[in-house]
């Protein structure tokens, strides 16, 4: 348990000083809590002396005692407030920084990281898991550390009057800690299971929402509804099982503390009967026995929460320590944009996808990559953008190995238009601006006009300030494409990577998209995963990929003369597009 507390304290980094100051406030707060109890005993003594006729009660003493009590209550509230103010906001501040840190780190890791760590796990780590630490971390510090500080401060006060009673209280606290330790061990086993169930539940929910069109189409009887039902049921079952596991330890923890309270009452009474303790002190000890364990009693709730926090830290560790793909990269400005693949071999995990691929792309030319599905076309583009690093060989742009560059300095030279457009749940303006955050409104409108977006944007209720649904869900496929082209155009990078849409788009949209692309690629170095005959035929160079290798390379006129994949591919495309080449 204290290991987890140490971890939370370490997590707060520079802010840990505030936690320590909070511990001091907590100590003072408890002293102020003990003061009225001692004052009560003192007052009782005065009353008893007055009743027995030993010493009459003076009004000055009553006034002083009242002032002392008011002072103690005020002090108690003041230090409780100061402790909360100093400690409680730390969790929220650290979590906010942590999220930004993780966001920045994820930007610089290889895309392979996202395949290995599924989206549900990453999402829950940054949202629910971090929120858990944010909400409970500081409360746990308060419950455990301040709880023990409070108990031991009261033991000190009791020890001041009677050492045996203080020892009894310490034995109670130590024995209850043994049961807490056993509870902690159980939680250690359960916390990862609890989190796994939570991740599965989040994954299943994301899947379900993403696959809603399919769910609806299949009348909600498909596999995904079973998946989500099972995930929720298993989460409920696991939580119930965990709760049952904790019952014996929780009960013993409370039992020991209650027994210690009873022992304190019994011992004080015995001392009083034997006249080695006066009645007011005995009463004070009895009052202490009721309050001393109050804070320790709630620590059992902390044991389980702390283990979940521990498991969350374990889960965050690989994300926080994920290696930057451009760890050694430098900010390099390129002199030219010739692209060169030299004997590139690449595998996703253990699956070999490209073998010994070499080719050059001179700057300001258009290269079309064609080949069967799964042959490695997208992978080639992903490697140019350094979403992954090659396993063997090298990729150079402007004669610089891209592994020598930071991702930022490389990617500022590249604009990408993907087939599956992703737009952020934000305004149209901000989605276009993503390509150049410093762009002003006029520049954005100018670009949107060139990308054939302006007209449909102006027909939307809030124009450029219209919020786009998640992933662009409120726009048509063609409209999304054009916005993504505007985004790339605004960036105005010298290299453009284009993945031509294969999905059928209506002729009007197709016309607008082609017009937008022509404006985008003007005067640039273009690599396009091409499907349209017009794009392929007009390219300066065509690279034909098959099964991870370059099997043909040349212009359309060269390749159409050769028997091979290209000729067959063109014939199929001609049929599909209804073309006849004379
Ligand atoms: N992230 C990934 N992890 C593992 N394997 C992958 C990953 N991405 C692609 N692959 C595999 O690598 C191979 C090449 O994929 P790639 O997407 O480059 O092909 P492609 O030629 O662009 O295909 P398509 O025309 O269908 O888009 C395929 O067998 C694919 O299954």
Greatest CA separation for the chain:
129
Q: Is 377 in the pocket of ligand 1 (CB under 6 A)?
A: yes
467 forms bridges with which residues in the sheet?
A: 427
Q: Which CATH class is domain 327-413+493-503+523-582?
A: alpha beta
Q: Is 374 in the pocket of ligand 1 (CB under 6 A)?
A: yes
* In contact, 281 and 38? CB cutoff 8 Å: no
Distance 509 CA to ligand 1 centre (A): 27
For domain 89-320, give the CATH superfamily: ABC transporter type 1, transmembrane domain (1.20.1560.10)
Q: What 3-state DSSP class applies to 477?
A: helix
**What is the model's pLDDT at position 58?**
84
Same fold flag, 327-413+493-503+523-582 and 420-492: yes
28-33: long-range contacts, CB 8 A cutoff, minimum separation 24: 28/75, 28/79, 29/75, 29/76, 29/79, 29/80, 29/83, 29/150, 30/149, 30/150, 30/153, 30/154, 31/153, 31/157, 32/72, 32/73, 32/75, 32/76, 32/79, 33/72, 33/76, 33/150, 33/154, 33/291
Q: Is 355 in the pocket of ligand 1 (CB under 6 A)?
A: no
**What is the model's pLDDT at position 294?**
77
Domain ranges of the chain: 89-320, 327-413+493-503+523-582, 420-492
C-alpha to C-alpha distance for 232 and 221, rounded to whole angstroms? 17
Nearest CA to ligand 1 atom 2: 348
**What is the model's pLDDT at position 398?**
92
Start-to-end C-alpha separation, the chain: 80
Q: What is the CATH number of domain 420-492?
A: 3.40.50.300
For a ligand 1 pocket test, name from 376, 418, 498, 549 the mutation site with the most ligand atoms within 8 angstroms of its C-beta: 376
Q: Is 422 in the pocket of ligand 1 (CB under 6 A)?
A: no
* In contact, 114 and 102? CB cutoff 8 Å: no
DSSP 339-399: EEEEEEEEEETTEEEEEEEEEEE-TT-EEEEE-STTSSHHHHHHHHTTSS--SEEEEEETT
Q: Is 369 in the pocket of ligand 1 (CB under 6 A)?
A: no
Residue numbers in the chain where pLDDT is lower than 70: 112, 115-120, 213-225, 300-301, 470-473, 501-510, 576-582
**What is the model's pLDDT at position 208?**
77
Report pTM.
Answer: 0.66
Cβ–Cβ contacts within 10 Å for residue 372, how many?
14
Nearest CA to ligand 1 atom 3: 348
**What is the model's pLDDT at position 498?**
86
Query: For residue 115, which atom of ligand 1 is closest to its CA?
Result: 1
Decide the pairing of beta strands 366-370 and 392-397: unpaired
Query: For residue 349, which atom of ligand 1 is closest to its CA?
Result: 4
DSSP 239-303: HHHHHHHHHHHHHHHHHHHHHHHHHHHHHHHHHHHTTSS-HHHHHHHHHHHHHTTHHHHTHHHHH
For a ligand 1 pocket test, name from 113, 117, 346, 351 the mutation site with the most ligand atoms within 8 angstroms of its C-beta: 351
Report H helices in 141-162.
147-161
Cβ–Cβ contacts within 10 Å for residue 490, how many?
24
Nearest CA to ligand 1 atom 5: 348
What value, to the nearest 5°, has the Cα angle with vertex 531 and ends 529 and 535? 80
Q: Is 351 in the pocket of ligand 1 (CB under 6 A)?
A: yes
Nearest CA to ligand 1 atom 29: 374
**What is the model's pLDDT at position 356?**
92
**What is the model's pLDDT at position 581?**
46
What value, to the nearest 5°, has the Cα angle with vertex 326 and ends 323 and 331? 150
* In contact, 499 and 530? CB cutoff 8 Å: no
């Amino acid at each position: 348990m204290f290991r987890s507390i140490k971890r939370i304290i370490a997590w707060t980094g520079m802010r840990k000083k505030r936690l320590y100051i909070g511990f001091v406030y907590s100590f003072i707060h408890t002293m102020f809590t003990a003061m009225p109890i001692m004052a009560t005993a003192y007052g009782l003594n005065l009353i008893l002396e007055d009743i027995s006729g030993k010493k009459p009660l003076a009004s000055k003493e009553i006034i002083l005692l009242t002032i002392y009590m008011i002072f103690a209550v005020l002090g108690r509230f003041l230090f409780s407030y100061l402790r909360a103010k100093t400690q409680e906001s730390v969790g929220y501040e650290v979590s906010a920084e942590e999220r930004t840190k993780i966001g920045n780190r994820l930007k610089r890791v290889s895309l392979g990281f996202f395949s290995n760590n599924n989206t549900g796990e990453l999402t829950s780590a940054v949202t629910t898991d971090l929120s858990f630490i944010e909400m409970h971390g500081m409360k746990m510090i308060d419950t455990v550390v301040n709880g023990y500080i409070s108990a031991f401060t009261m033991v000190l006060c009791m020890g001041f009057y009677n050492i045996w009673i203080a020892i009894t209280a310490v034995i109670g606290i130590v024995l209850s800690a043994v049961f807490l330790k056993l509870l902690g061990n159980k939680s250690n086993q359960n916390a990862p299971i609890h989190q796994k169930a939570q991740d599965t539940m989040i994954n299943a929910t994301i899947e379900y929402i993403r696959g809603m069109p399919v769910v609806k189409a299949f009348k909600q009887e498909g596999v995904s509804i079973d998946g989500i039902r099972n995930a929720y049921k298993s989460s409920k079952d696991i939580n119930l099982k965990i709760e049952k596991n904790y019952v014996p330890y929780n009960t013993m923890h409370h039992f020991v503390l209650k027994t210690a309270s009873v022992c304190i009452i019994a011992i004080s009474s015995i001392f009083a009967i034997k006249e080695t303790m006066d009645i007011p002190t005995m009463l004070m000890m009895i009052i202490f026995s009721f309050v001393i364990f109050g804070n320790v009693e709630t620590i059992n709730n902390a044991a389980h929460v702390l283990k979940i926090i521990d498991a969350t830290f374990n889960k965050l560790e690989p994300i926080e320590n994920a290696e930057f793909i451009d760890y050694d990269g430098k900010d390099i400005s390129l002199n030219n944009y010739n692209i060169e693949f030299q004997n590139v071999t690449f595998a996703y995990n253990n699956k070999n996808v490209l073998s010994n691929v070499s080719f050059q792309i001179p700057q300001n030319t258009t290269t079309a990559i064609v080949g069967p599905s799964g042959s490695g076309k997208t992978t080639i583009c992903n490697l140019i953008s350094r979403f992954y690093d090659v396993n063997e060989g090298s990729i150079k742009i402007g004669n610089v190995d891209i592994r020598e560059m930071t991702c930022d300095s490389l990617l500022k030279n590249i604009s990408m238009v993907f087939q599956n457009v992703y737009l952020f749940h934000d305004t149209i303006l901000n989605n276009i601006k993503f390509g150049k955050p410093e762009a002003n409104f006029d520049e954005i409108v100018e670009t949107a006009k060139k990308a054939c977006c302006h007209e449909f944007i102006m027909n939307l209720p809030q124009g450029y300030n219209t919020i786009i649904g998640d992933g662009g869900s409120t726009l048509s496929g063609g409209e999304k494409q054009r916005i993504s082209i505007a985004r790339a155009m605004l960036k105005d990078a010298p290299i453009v990577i284009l993945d031509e849409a294969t999905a059928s788009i209506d002729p009007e949209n197709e016309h607008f998209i082609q017009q937008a692309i022509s404006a985008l690629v003007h005067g640039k170095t273009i690599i396009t995963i091409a499907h349209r005959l017009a794009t392929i035929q007009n390219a300066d160079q065509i690279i034909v990929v098959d099964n991870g290798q370059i099997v043909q390379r040349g212009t359309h006129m060269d390749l159409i003369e050769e028997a091979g994949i290209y000729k067959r591919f063109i014939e199929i495309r001609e049929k599909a597009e209804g073309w006849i080449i004379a």
